[in-house]
Structure 1
Amino acid sequence: MLLSLTLGVPAGAGQGNLRLDRLFQALHATTDAAYAESVEEHIWDFWLAHPDPAMTRDMRAGVADLSHDDYESALRAFDSVVARDPSYAEGWNKRAAAHYMLGDYRAAMLDLRRALSLEPRHFGALVELGLVYLALGDDQPALRAFDAALAINPHLDRVRAQADAIRSRGVGVAL
């Protein structure tokens, strides 16, 4: 079934693609953990893809820098990406990750809000927003962010555990 959801997907389909909508529906509907993981990987592929191959290369280079703990280089790569295409949600999300790793939580939060304004279903940005709030010692908005991510992707077991840990400390979500 997953193959039928992704066949014919153009590179750089981005956050507004109908096939991406179907992937989100499948992610929310399934109870099969392996299938959910596969769907989630396809969603990340959509988010990372960009119609400009040079942008995709720059994003992948920045991601590699992040994975090698070279946060300054990653930040430079993602700065370039968002400057060239400010409508690219994943560019903002990845730049937020670099800011977070460098301890610049305010910049991370601003970038995450920008990513979420472009792709409100970005469960990864919501999780990272929760982590930023935790780093700032602010459990209540962290819990809101984690719960929002889980509403989109109920298969985030570590996020669920983190939300449960916050709740066990007696933190509730005020409406």
Structure 2
Amino acid sequence: MSQRFFFLTVVLTLLLGAPAGAGQGSAPLDSLFQALRAAPDDVAAEPVEGRIWDVWLQHPDETLLAEMRSGVLSLNADDYPAALDAFDRVVARDPTYAEGWNKRASAHYMLGDYESAMNDLRRALLLEPRHFGALATLGLVYLELDRPAAALRAFDAALAINPHLPNLRRQAQSIRISAAGLAL
């Protein structure tokens, strides 16, 4: 499976049903992450994961949220330069908004600017260390840079936070198999 296809699958999976919600660092996130880890299977985890995305996407500034929506629509329409422009405005408006950095990283990734994507993902993770979406994308960036060991560390970190990401589990397993020198 190509890395871009895998990235789009991860992004779309993580974005589905994720309307604007609350912001990193809020108290409800702790209980949501506990519920996510305690979910018995991937299906049971889906609504909890969706609520986490709701919280991450929430922001009190309606103008910023309009820019986020514009950027996400552009990203989903494969208009990566327009998405990047929108997310540039988001992070300029609030540099403490982790999801703005995460989304901007996605646009950089799709444009092939892996260094910028990595920098934005690091900013997102400084603001929200439990951001499994940012960790997953960081792993994809490392794969593009032919750094499979670093990619595996990022994927494992994402899975430690959210063990209910089947595509990510498969990707991590593929790296492990390749590292062991086994054919798929």
Q: Same fold (TM over 0.5)?
A: yes
Distance in structure 2 (CA, Å) of the matches to 1:110 and 1:104:
10
Distance in structure 2 (CA, Å) of the matches to 1:102 and 1:156:
24
Residue matched to 2:15: none
Match among 80, 87, 110 for residue 78 of structure 1 = 87
Match among 48, 53, 58 for residue 62 of structure 2 = 53
Residue matched to 1:151: 160
Distance in structure 2 (CA, Å) of the matches to 1:32 and 1:127:
19
2:102–2:121 Cα contact (<8 Å) kept: yes
After the TM superposition, which segments of 4 or more aligned residues of structure 1 sit over 6 Å from their partners?
none
1:27–1:40 Cα contact (<8 Å) kept: yes
**Letter matched to residue 25 of structure 2:** G
Residue matched to 1:116: 125
Unaligned runs of 5+ in 2: 1-19
- Output the aligned Cα RMSD: 1.1
Measured after TM superposition, the shift of residue 125 of structure 1 is: 0.1
Unaligned runs of 5+ in 1: 1-10
**Letter matched to residue 20 of structure 1:** L
Give TM-score, length-normalised by structure 2: 0.85
1:133–1:141 Cα contact (<8 Å) kept: yes
Q: Aligned pairs, how many?
A: 161
Measured after TM superposition, the shift of residue 12 of structure 1 is: 5.6
Residue matched to 2:116: 107
**Letter matched to residue 52 of structure 1:** D
**Letter matched to residue 143 of structure 1:** L
Measured after TM superposition, the shift of residue 34 of structure 1 is: 2.2
Deviations 1:108-166 (A, max 9, x none): 00000000000000000000000000011110000000000000000011101000000
**Letter matched to residue 127 of structure 2:** L
**Letter matched to residue 68 of structure 2:** M
Aligned positions of 1:90-105 closer than 5 A: 90-105=99-114
Match among 90, 97, 102 for residue 88 of structure 1 = 97
1:12–1:50 Cα contact (<8 Å) kept: yes
2:84–2:108 Cα contact (<8 Å) kept: yes
Residue matched to 1:7: none
Residue matched to 2:42: 33
Between the two structures, name the one with larger relative contact order (CA 8 Å, sep ≥ 6): 2
Distance in structure 2 (CA, Å) of the matches to 1:168 and 1:99:
29
Distance in structure 1 (CA, Å) of the matches to 2:136 and 2:158:
6
Aligned positions of 1:2-41 closer than 5 A: 13-41=22-50
Measured after TM superposition, the shift of residue 104 of structure 1 is: 0.1
Measured after TM superposition, the shift of residue 87 of structure 1 is: 0.2
Residue matched to 2:146: 137
Measured after TM superposition, the shift of residue 14 of structure 1 is: 1.1
Distance in structure 1 (CA, Å) of the matches to 2:176 and 2:43:
28
**Letter matched to residue 75 of structure 2:** L
